[in-house]
Amino acid sequence: MTKRNCCFITTRLALQWATLSQHAKRSHWSRLLSVVRLFAQYRAVEDPRTEIPPLYLLSQKPDRAIPYIYSNKELRQLLVAFQSLPSKGLRPHTYYTFFGLMMVTGCRIGELLALNRDDLDLNNGWITIWNSKFNKSRLLPFHPTTVEQLKKYSNARDKFLGQNTPAFFISEGGTRITTWSTRRIFVQVSKQIGLRGPDDQNGPRIHDIRHRFATKTLLNWYRNGLDINQKISLLTTYLGHKKPSDTYWYITGTPELLAQATTRFEKKIGE
């Protein structure tokens, strides 16, 4: 403070001090600013000129990875490649159905891996997701074509291994498929169809399928002239989020979506 010729704490001064180390992580800056904030709260009692840095200044908000929005063609290529996996008989059925279900529901990978036989009601056309993130459970209805594929997989699975496990998606060894094996096969297939280079360590992710589902759902609503503010709560519930702001985190401003939003905005201005 002496070097800055300042007699009391200001938010600007606190921020400059906390970020002196340009190579430090944001988490380190945030901790330093927290120390200043506590001291400023103490000093403010004696010196009303003291500024207390805002609570969320330099807070550790998660960095949003730029999602990859798959095209319809790329999703079809993935599904065709899953159908061609080397197998004793079940693996292509398992991963084709697993990723197909993810594409039409936007479910998290862990939610589908945890599915049990009893979680599916194929007569009524829905599944139950139990105790997922935020301890939320939800019921997801399906299109008849999805129900038909789930029935086909159920028959193939039972014919291959019987009903010796409660898990819905199983490996050829009769056990529930794992996160590790699912990610490994996804990377393998992604390289096969050109979504990743042969030596790429990073590329389009499984989780990006969920981003794609949220973005495409919003785009379809715009195209159909629906009220987004009214419908967003429905998407929030379907995806298992706590609040709409969590859902908007998944929305990516694709050219098509931005064009629809701009057109809607221009119409409202012209009213």
**Hey, which residues are catalytic here?**
108, 133, 207, 210, 241, 250
Residue 152, SS3 per DSSP: helix
Which of 85, 104, 63, 113 has the alpha carbon at shortest distance from 187? 85
**Residue 125's closest CA among 102, 148, 101, 104?**
148
Identify whether the C-beta of residue 182 lies closer than 8 Å to the C-beta of residue 112.
Answer: no
Cα(190)–Cα(204) distance, integer angstroms: 8
Q: Reduce the secondary structure of 96-137 to three states and give it as a string.
A: HHHHHHHHHHCCCHHHHHCCEHHHEECCCCEEEECCCHHHCC
* CB burial of residue 214 (10 Å; 0-12, 13-18, 19+): buried
Instruction: Find out whether 100 and 152 touch, Cβ atoms under 8 Å.
Output: no
What is the signed CA dihedral for 193, 196, 197, 199, rounded to 10 degrees? -120
Beta-sheet pairing, 120-121 with 138-141: unpaired
| Three-class SS state of 187 | helix
